[in-house]
Amino acid sequence: MIKYALQCAAAHRFEGWFSTSADYDDQRARLLIECPICGSPEISKQIMSPAVAGTKRRGSPSPEPTPEMRQMMMAAAGEVRRHVEENFDYVGDAFAREARDIHEGRSEERGIYGEATPSEAKALVEDGVKIAPLPPKPQPKEKLN
């Protein structure tokens, strides 16, 4: 989808979304685009900066999550942890060795979880072993603020 900044002959500004730039051109030629304020079909595109996915605005911090968003994220993290604990094999502090053995075909392919030191985790990642940290255990309600 392409978002265009548009303006009518009376200088009313608005936005329009189109599948392609050809769709905009076709709809404009057939007078299908009208100003939502005055109804004028005399529409032109205005200069606007492109939206580039994956970039961050420099100098403006990300907004803080609301309490509701934070609660939702914590619930999702808890569900991920619960799923792993119920469906993966716990290998304790042998995690790094077992993950490497699975990666290199010396052990059966399966989901595992356990503990690894930061240096063990770094070495696994550098060697192309796919690992991810497990979300922390949720705090008991009596320990929450």
pLDDT 10s digits, 6-34: 999 999 988 888 888 888 888 999 999 99
Q: Are residues 79 and 132 in the same domain?
A: yes
Joined together, the tokens standing for residue 9 give: 């002959």
Cα→Cα distances 55→51, 52, 69, 144, Å: 9, 6, 22, 35
pLDDT at 144 over 90: no
Question: What pLDDT, in 10s, does the model give residues 109-133?
Answer: 999 999 999 999 999 999 999 998 8
Residue 34 lies in a domain: yes
pLDDT averaged over every residue in the chain: 86
Residue 25 lies in a domain: yes
Residue 51 lies in a domain: no
Residue 122, pLDDT score: 93
Residue 87 lies in a domain: yes
Residue 69 lies in a domain: no
Residue 98's pLDDT band (cuts 50, 70, 90):
very high
d(CA 35, CA 21): 18
Residue 64 lies in a domain: no
Residue 65's pLDDT band (cuts 50, 70, 90):
confident
In DSSP notation, 10-70 reads T--EEEEEESSHHHHHHHHHTT----TTT----EEE---PPP-TT---TT-PPPPPPHHHH
d(CA 113, CA 89): 6
d(CA 107, CA 101): 5
Residue 59 lies in a domain: no
**What percent of the chain has a predicted confidence (pLDDT) above 70?**
85
Q: How many Å is the Cα radius of gyration of the chain?
A: 27
Q: Which residues contact 93 (CB under 8 A, 6 or more apart)?
A: 114, 115, 116
* Number of domains observed in the structure of the chain: 2
Q: Give mean pLDDT, residues 84-111.
A: 95
**pTM of the complete model:** 0.52
**Higher pLDDT, residue 143 or 106:** 106
Q: What is the DSSP letter of 93?
A: T
Give the phi and the psi of residue 45 in degrees, each rounded to 5: -80, 145
Q: Are residues 80 and 39 in the same domain?
A: no
Residue 80 lies in a domain: yes
Parent domain of 32 = 2-45
Q: Are residues 78 and 129 in the same domain?
A: yes
